[in-house]
């Protein structure tokens, strides 16, 4: 049986993760594929046009739809980064709160390469996959499973990235 971590540790880890992430996004220049996704969303006049333009990106449409909706309010790509950071913070909080791992494993996971940099700072759909997988695990481990929510989570996963199909 693992000893529970102090109550203040998860919020402290989340604040540290958020601080490092924010510093990272303000210093991160968008890669070509990130800018391309954002510019397609900003320059599309309708969702149908956007989905038509995004059909060659090789990814299912959920991230593109989210960017299109956000681009109706602003054309500044910084807000795409903030949306991505928000998704990352929700995923990290759920991971810290519900994962059965030791504190060391949690710290190494959230501050490791993939979760701090690849899934967090680079604005691609991988981050939503991480969030939806955590949500699925939480829902699946409940004593009373809600199969409708589990199915909805799997449907969303199938529409975020090809790797999520696995």
Residue 1, pLDDT > 80, answer no
Which two structure tokens, joined as six digits, stand for 114? 């993939």
Scan for tokens 């199938």, then name that residue: 158
Distance CA 40, CA 44 (A): 6
Note the pTM of the prediction, 2 decimals. 0.90
* Average pLDDT score, the chain: 91
Q: Each residue of 87-141: pLDDT tens digit?
A: 999 999 999 999 999 999 999 999 999 999 988 888 888 889 999 999 999 999 9
Which two structure tokens, joined as six digits, stand for 105? 């494993």
Phi-psi label, residue 75: left if phi above 0, alpha if psi -120 to 50, beta otherwise: alpha
Helix (H, G, I), strand (E, B) or coil at 75: coil
CA distances from 165 to 5, 59, 124, 154, 158 (A): 34, 11, 16, 9, 5
Q: What is the pLDDT of residue 25?
A: 93
């Amino acid at each position: 049986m693992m000893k529970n971590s102090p109550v203040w540790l998860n919020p402290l880890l989340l604040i540290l993760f958020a601080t490092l992430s924010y510093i990272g996004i303000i210093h991160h220049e968008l890669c070509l594929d990130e800018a391309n996704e954002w510019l397609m969303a900003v320059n599309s006049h309708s969702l149908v046009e956007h989905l038509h333009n995004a059909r060659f990106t090789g990814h299912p449409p959920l991230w593109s739809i989210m960017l299109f909706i956000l681009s109706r309010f602003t054309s500044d790509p910084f807000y795409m980064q903030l949306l991505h950071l928000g998704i990352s913070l929700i995923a990290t909080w759920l991971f810290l709160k519900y994962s059965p791992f030791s504190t060391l494993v949690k710290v190494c996971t959230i501050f490791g390469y993939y979760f701090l940099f690849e899934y967090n700072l680079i604005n691609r759909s991988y981050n939503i996959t991480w969030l939806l997988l955590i949500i699925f695990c939480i829902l699946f481990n409940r004593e009373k499973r809600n199969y409708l929510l589990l199915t909805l989570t799997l449907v969303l996963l199938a529409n975020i990235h090809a790797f999520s199909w696995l």
